[in-house]
């Protein structure tokens, strides 16, 4: 695998920075960054790509349109603001003339008008929307502080910081780093042992070796699968009214395994979009196609299956475009896109590609295939052996009852296994049954328009090769060298996973309505490096976490706060609240409860009574037995009409549709979850017991210090221990008077106290642990 060397040789770096990076002059207006967004916001709705809405046959989204001769005048005359028609109309005081129409609140701001004016005066340079042009290699900029950067990526960050008069932070301390990078790469905090191993490793490459250990950990796949499963709208039920269960967990496990074996992003994509069309495809590749079978199935009585089959196909193409190209394709269902060059015809041509699969909103979810796991395969083999042995005995006359019963039970077990792993898959219709696709006028499938043939959108490079334009062709098209978006969108998603915000903050929209990248050169650099690595996602992660930008401290100086309050330039590392699943996993991990069992059917941890009350569905939430209660959050059963309350409160989506980014909130209801949910109460009880068990002495302060260290992975500060010891003493006094309360606090729901322990002590320590597990520091990635 071709990956970036970590400790970058400064000499080598200097050598590749051959010429100074030419930064644009401050006063020069950028068409891409400043002008196009103004035109898109104010003009494109009537003068954009949507022909049916276009007024006065004028287009302002293309160079030809904007500079067109309209019989004696032109909307834009380069270098001549007085003769540019758009400025005249925009600044007109005549209410019938002024653009855009619709009253004063629709008008452009004085700042926008002045930008437009300057741009025209500066020569009105025009380029197509940045995201629709291929990423290009930029020369690395020179920087003043050559000691700070440790990778090309850092040069690109630092140049921007220096241009804005900012300095990056120094590197974070080792304890912070190990907690940060473990959470980011594996979704889990490190154990104390892992922390100590890293602290004691004084070799210069200690950090990069830590990174390698984390990338090789099976937990890496679980962490990154979590992100992908939001995009894949993975859930354990079908959605809509009845919302019955549907076994999709084999797909979830495929995703985890794919990340762990660093399946290159192009293959990862091809398998999911078209695994069934690959020549000589494997079971694993067919299983991957369940990606697009995560769409909803409507089993409500009296529904038209064709209506919901079409809804599923539309969801698949919207999802495909969102996930891989960062485009909001969905609006072209009803009319041509108002802002981006996607026509309604484009939409239904693309629809035609995905309209040829055999699934059809059926209750039985056909087509499907059983994908037994390795243990299941072993068991199936064993059952088959038993069955054939039993059948041997049948040759010698009528079977005794016991044999018949054994045969039946063997067959039943076999069927049960095959049903449990039976997963909906993609299957292309045979040639004779292929569907004709027509445009759905105004998005209504009952109102068909012209027939269309399968194709990719016109304004993007066309599909290479001469074969049919099917799903496989589309999957390959996404990775053609001239596709401008796939690599950028993927690296942006990774960047956002580490830094909280993407280089393009609107991860879901790289079109003209989205926000421009904060550092376009960096985005392109990462995109090309990702491609050149052979689309290795682990290499991409490695490149990011080994950078100084990632390793810098999170301390917020007043200067960097005031100059860059949103931290778009990254003069400091952004602290972020842990995601829903990470909070759960962290609490279970530090308390010692976490099960590291991987894979398998989804599980049901504690959930309050009476949450599931779906219509015409008698499924019950039954708390999983044994360690299944303490599995990582990504294994929690997702019922779409009734998602797990603690998760949605902490901003997890309900998985009914593709969710590109979780918007983080900070609410009192979240505080109630981590204070009172049985999951966190049990974790506090277990942490309290661990404080007693692992502490060096019987002293209260030692136990409390142990608890803080277990959770925060740093030595406790005396002031913290003082404060918690006071709490402990107060609560101990109270619980000593209230043995029944003490018993409950220390044991419900975790279970009986270990022998020789004192209920009042453990109850008071549980209160202490409850505080520790709610600390801002515990809930935040440093």
Partner 1 sequence: MNDYQAEGVKSVLNQTRRHFFAEAGMSLGSIALAEMLSGKSAQAQAPTQGNAMSPRPPMIPARAKHVIYLHMAGSPSQLDLFDDKPELRKYTGKPCPDELLKGKRFAFIKGVPNMLGSPYQFKKAGQSGVELSELWQHLPTVIDKIAVLKTVKTDQFNHAPAQLFLHTGTNQFGGASMGAWATYGLGTENADLPGFVVLTSGGKTPDAGKSVWGSGFLPSVYQGVQCRSEGEPVLFLKNPEGLDQQGRRRTLDTLRQLNEMQARAVGDPETVTRIAQFELAYRMQITAPEVMDISREPKHILEMYGAVPGFVPESDSAADPRVAYKGTDAQFANNCLLARRLVESGVRYVQLFDWGWDHHGVSPGEDIVNTLPIKVRQIDRAMTALIKDLDQRGLLNETLIVWGGEFGRTPMAQNSPNQKFPGRDHHPYAFTMMMAGGGIKGGQTIGKTDEIGYYAVENPLDVRDIQATVLHQLGLDPWKHKFSYQGLEQRLIGVEGKAKIPPGLLA
Task: Scan residues 513-552 and list those touching partner 1 (CB under 8 A).
Answer: 513-514
* Cα 612 to Cα 244, 450, 529, 603, 645, distances in angstroms: 12, 45, 47, 15, 11
Taking CB under 8 A as the rule, does residue 566 contact partner 1? yes
> Taking contact as CB under 8 A, which single stretch among the options 372-380, 534-542, 692-700, 742-750 is the one that binds partner 1?
742-750
| Cis peptide bond prior to 749, omega within 30° of 0 | yes
CB-based contacts of 667, cutoff 8 Å, min separation 6: 649
Taking CB under 8 A as the rule, does residue 441 contact partner 1? no
Using CB atoms within 10 Å of the CB of residue 453, give its burial: 0 to 12 exposed, 13 to 18 middle, 19+ buried: exposed
**Binder of partner 1 out of 565, 625, 752, 756 (CB under 8 A):** 565
| Cis peptide bond prior to 418, omega within 30° of 0 | no
Decide: 558 and 154 in contact? Cβ < 8 Å: no
Q: Which of residues 303-322 bind partner 1 (CB under 8 A)?
A: 303-304, 311
CB-based contacts of 253, cutoff 8 Å, min separation 6: 373, 598, 599, 600
Nearer to partner 1, 474 or 771 (CB): 771
Interface pattern 692-731 for partner 1 (x via CB under 8 A): -------------------------x-xx--xx-xx--xx
As a three-state string, the secondary structure of 633-700 is HHHECCCCCCCCHHHHHCCCCCCCCCCCCCCCCCCHHHHHHHHHCHHHHHHHHHHHHHHHHHCCCCCH
Decide: 270 and 475 in contact? Cβ < 8 Å: yes
Taking CB under 8 A as the rule, does residue 420 contact partner 1? no
CB of 162 to partner 1, least distance (A): 22
Taking CB under 8 A as the rule, does residue 775 contact partner 1? yes
Q: How far apart are CA 463 and CA 146, in angstroms?
A: 44
**Binder of partner 1 out of 664, 736, 757, 758 (CB under 8 A):** 664
Q: What does the block give as tokens for 418?
A: 């095959």
Q: Which of residues 76-115 bind partner 1 (CB under 8 A)?
A: 105
Give the rounded distance of the alpha carbon of 570 from its chain centre. 21
Taking CB under 8 A as the rule, does residue 657 contact partner 1? yes
Nearer to partner 1, 415 or 737 (CB): 737
Nearer to partner 1, 296 or 604 (CB): 296
Taking CB under 8 A as the rule, does residue 62 contact partner 1? no
Using CB atoms within 10 Å of the CB of residue 208, give its burial: 0 to 12 exposed, 13 to 18 middle, 19+ buried: middle
SS3 369: strand
CB of 38 to partner 1, least distance (A): 14
Give the rounded distance of the alpha carbon of 165 from its chain centre. 33
Q: Look at the block and give the residue holding tokens 């056909």.
A: 366
Nearer to partner 1, 238 or 632 (CB): 238
Q: What does the block give as tokens for 448?
A: 């068909």
Q: Is 214 left (phi over 0), alpha (psi -120 to 50) or beta?
A: alpha
> Taking contact as CB under 8 A, which single stretch among the options 11-19, 188-196, 273-281, 334-342 is the one that binds partner 1?
334-342
Q: Which of residues 337-396 bind partner 1 (CB under 8 A)?
A: 337-340
**Binder of partner 1 out of 30, 80, 376, 774 (CB under 8 A):** 774
Q: What does the block give as tokens for 333?
A: 């269902």
**Binder of partner 1 out of 555, 627, 751, 754 (CB under 8 A):** 555
Taking CB under 8 A as the rule, does residue 466 contact partner 1? no
Q: What does the block give as tokens for 439?
A: 């445009």
Taking CB under 8 A as the rule, does residue 744 contact partner 1? yes
Taking CB under 8 A as the rule, does residue 666 contact partner 1? yes
# residues contacting partner 1 (CB under 8 A): 98
> Taking contact as CB under 8 A, which single stretch among the options 29-37, 139-147, 528-536, 765-773 is the one that binds partner 1?
765-773
**Binder of partner 1 out of 146, 393, 453, 615 (CB under 8 A):** 615
Of 62, 70, 68, 21, nearest to 43 (Cα)?
62
Using CB atoms within 10 Å of the CB of residue 616, give its burial: 0 to 12 exposed, 13 to 18 middle, 19+ buried: exposed
| Cis peptide bond prior to 367, omega within 30° of 0 | yes
Nearer to partner 1, 378 or 669 (CB): 669
> Taking contact as CB under 8 A, which single stretch among the options 31-39, 46-54, 355-363, 608-616 is the one that binds partner 1?
608-616
Taking CB under 8 A as the rule, does residue 509 contact partner 1? yes
Q: How far apart are CA 706 and CA 688, in angstroms?
A: 10
**Binder of partner 1 out of 200, 618, 622, 755 (CB under 8 A):** 618
Q: How far apart are CA 630 and CA 633, in angstroms?
A: 9
Taking CB under 8 A as the rule, does residue 667 contact partner 1? yes
**Binder of partner 1 out of 276, 508, 581, 585 (CB under 8 A):** 508
CB of 53 to partner 1, least distance (A): 11
Taking CB under 8 A as the rule, does residue 622 contact partner 1? no
Q: How far apart are CA 779 and CA 675, in angstroms?
A: 12
> Taking contact as CB under 8 A, which single stretch among the options 151-159, 391-399, 503-511, 691-699 is the one that binds partner 1?
503-511
**Binder of partner 1 out of 136, 216, 419, 671 (CB under 8 A):** 671
CB of 291 to partner 1, least distance (A): 18
CB of 553 to partner 1, least distance (A): 10
Taking CB under 8 A as the rule, does residue 501 contact partner 1? yes
Q: Which of residues 1-60 bind partner 1 (CB under 8 A)?
A: none
**Binder of partner 1 out of 74, 278, 407, 648 (CB under 8 A):** 648
Nearer to partner 1, 386 or 758 (CB): 758
SS3 252: helix
Report CA torsion sign: 328, 334, 337, 343. Answer: positive
Decide: 512 and 537 in contact? Cβ < 8 Å: no
Q: Which of residues 136-155 bind partner 1 (CB under 8 A)?
A: none
Taking CB under 8 A as the rule, does residue 297 contact partner 1? no
Interface pattern 571-600 for partner 1 (x via CB under 8 A): ----x-x-----------------------
Taking CB under 8 A as the rule, does residue 670 contact partner 1? yes
- How many other CB atoms sit within 10 Å of the CB of residue 669? 12
Nearer to partner 1, 421 or 763 (CB): 763
Using CB atoms within 10 Å of the CB of residue 735, give its burial: 0 to 12 exposed, 13 to 18 middle, 19+ buried: buried
CB of 741 to partner 1, least distance (A): 4
Give the rounded distance of the alpha carbon of 611 from its chain centre. 27
CB of 137 to partner 1, least distance (A): 29
CB of 25 to partner 1, least distance (A): 27
Give the torsion through C-alpha atoms of 36, 42, 45, 46, to 10 deg.
-110
CB of 656 to partner 1, least distance (A): 4
369: β partners: 423
- How many other CB atoms sit within 10 Å of the CB of residue 548? 21
Taking CB under 8 A as the rule, does residue 629 contact partner 1? no
Taking CB under 8 A as the rule, does residue 511 contact partner 1? yes
Q: Which of residues 222-261 bind partner 1 (CB under 8 A)?
A: 239-241, 243
**Binder of partner 1 out of 59, 640, 689, 703 (CB under 8 A):** 640
Q: How far apart are CA 216 and CA 221, in angstroms?
A: 9
CB of 32 to partner 1, least distance (A): 17
């Amino acid at each position: 695998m071709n990956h970036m060397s970590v400790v970058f040789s400064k000499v080598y770096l200097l050598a590749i920075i051959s010429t100074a990076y030419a930064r644009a002059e401050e006063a020069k207006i950028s068409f891409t960054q400043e002008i196009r967004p103004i035109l898109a916001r104010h003009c494109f709705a009537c003068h954009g790509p949507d022909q049916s809405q276009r007024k006065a046959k004028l287009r302002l989204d293309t160079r030809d349109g904007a500079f067109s001769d309209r019989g004696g005048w032109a909307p834009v005359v380069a270098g001549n603001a007085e003769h540019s028609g758009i400025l005249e109309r925009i600044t007109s005081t005549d209410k019938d003339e002024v653009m855009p129409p619709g009253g004063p609140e629709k008008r452009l701001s004085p700042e926008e008008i002045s930008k437009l004016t300057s741009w025209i005066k500066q020569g009105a340079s025009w380029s197509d929307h940045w995201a629709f042009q291929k990423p290009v290699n930029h020369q690395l900029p020179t920087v003043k502080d050559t000691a700070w950067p440790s990778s090309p990526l850092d040069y690109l960050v630092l140049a921007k910081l220096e241009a804005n008069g900012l300095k990056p932070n120094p590197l974070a301390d080792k304890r912070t780093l190990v907690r940060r990078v473990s959470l980011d790469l594996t979704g889990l905090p490190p154990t104390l042992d892992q922390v100590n191993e890293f602290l004691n490793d004084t070799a210069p490459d200690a950090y990069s070796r830590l990174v390698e250990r984390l990338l090789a950990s099976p937990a890496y796949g679980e962490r990154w699968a979590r992100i992908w499963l939001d995009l894949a709208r993975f859930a354990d039920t079908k959605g809509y009214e009845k919302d019955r269960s549907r076994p999709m967990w084999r797909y979830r496990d495929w995703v985890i395994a794919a990340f762990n074996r660093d399946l290159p992003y192009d293959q990862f994509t091809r398998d999911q979009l078209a695994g069934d069309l690959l020549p000589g495809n494997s079971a694993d590749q067919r299983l991957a196609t369940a990606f697009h079978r995560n769409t909803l199935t409507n089993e409500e009585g009296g529904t038209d299956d064709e209506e919901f089959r079409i809804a599923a196909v539309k969801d698949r193409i919207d999802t495909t475009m969102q996930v891989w190209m960062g485009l909001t394709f969905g609006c072209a269902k009803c009319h041509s896109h108002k802002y981006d060059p996607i026509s309604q015809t484009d939409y239904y041509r693309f629809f035609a590609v995905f309209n040829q699969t055999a699934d059809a909103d059926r209750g039985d979810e056909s087509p499907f295939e059983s994908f037994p796991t390795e243990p299941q395969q072993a068991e199936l083999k064993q059952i088959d052996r038993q069955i054939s042995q039993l059948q041997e005995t049948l040759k010698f006359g009528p079977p005794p009852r016991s044999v018949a019963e054994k045969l039946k039970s063997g067959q039943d077990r076999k069927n049960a296994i095959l049903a449990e792993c039976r997963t909906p898959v993609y299957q292309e219709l045979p040639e004779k049954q292929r569907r004709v696709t027509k445009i759905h006028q105004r998005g209504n499938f009952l109102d068909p328009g012209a027939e269309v043939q399968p194709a990719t959108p016109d304004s993007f490079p066309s599909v290479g090769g001469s074969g049919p334009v099917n799903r496989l062709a589309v999957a390959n098209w996404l990775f053609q060298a001239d596709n401008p978006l796939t690599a950028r969108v993927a690296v942006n998603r990774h960047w956002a996973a580490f830094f909280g915000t993407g280089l393009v903050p609107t991860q879901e929209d790289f079109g003209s309505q989205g926000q421009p990248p904060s550092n376009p050169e960096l985005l392109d650099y990462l995109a090309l490096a990702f491609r050149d690595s052979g689309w290795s996602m682990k290499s991409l992660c490695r490149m990011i976490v080994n950078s100084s930008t990632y390793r810098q401290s999170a301390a917020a100086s007043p200067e960097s706060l005031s100059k860059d309050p949103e931290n778009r330039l990254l003069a400091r590392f952004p602290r972020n609240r842990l995601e829903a699943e990470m909070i759960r996993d962290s609490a279970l991990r530090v308390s010692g409860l976490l099960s590291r069992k991987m894979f398998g059917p989804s599980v049901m941890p504690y959930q309050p009574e009476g949450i599931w009350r779906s219509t015409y569905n008698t499924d019950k939430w039954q708390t999983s037995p044994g360690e299944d209660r303490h599995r990582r959050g990504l294994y929690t059963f997702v019922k779409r009409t009734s998602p797990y309350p603690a998760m949605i409160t902490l901003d997890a989506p309900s998985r009914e549709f593709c969710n590109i980014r979780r918007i983080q909130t900070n609410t009192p209801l979240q505080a109630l979850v981590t204070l009172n949910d049985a999951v966190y109460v049990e974790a506090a009880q277990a942490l309290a017991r661990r404080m007693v068990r692992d502490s060096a002495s019987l002293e209260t302060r030692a136990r409390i210090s142990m608890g803080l260290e277990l959770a925060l992975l740093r030595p406790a500060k005396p002031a913290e221990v003082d404060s918690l010891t006071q709490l402990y003493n107060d609560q101990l006094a109270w619980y000593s008077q209230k043995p029944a309360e003490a018993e409950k606090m220390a044991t419900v729901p975790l279970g009986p106290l270990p022998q020789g322990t004192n209920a009042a002590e453990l109850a008071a320590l549980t209160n202490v642990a409850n505080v520790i597990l709610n600390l801002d520091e515990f809930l935040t990635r440093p």
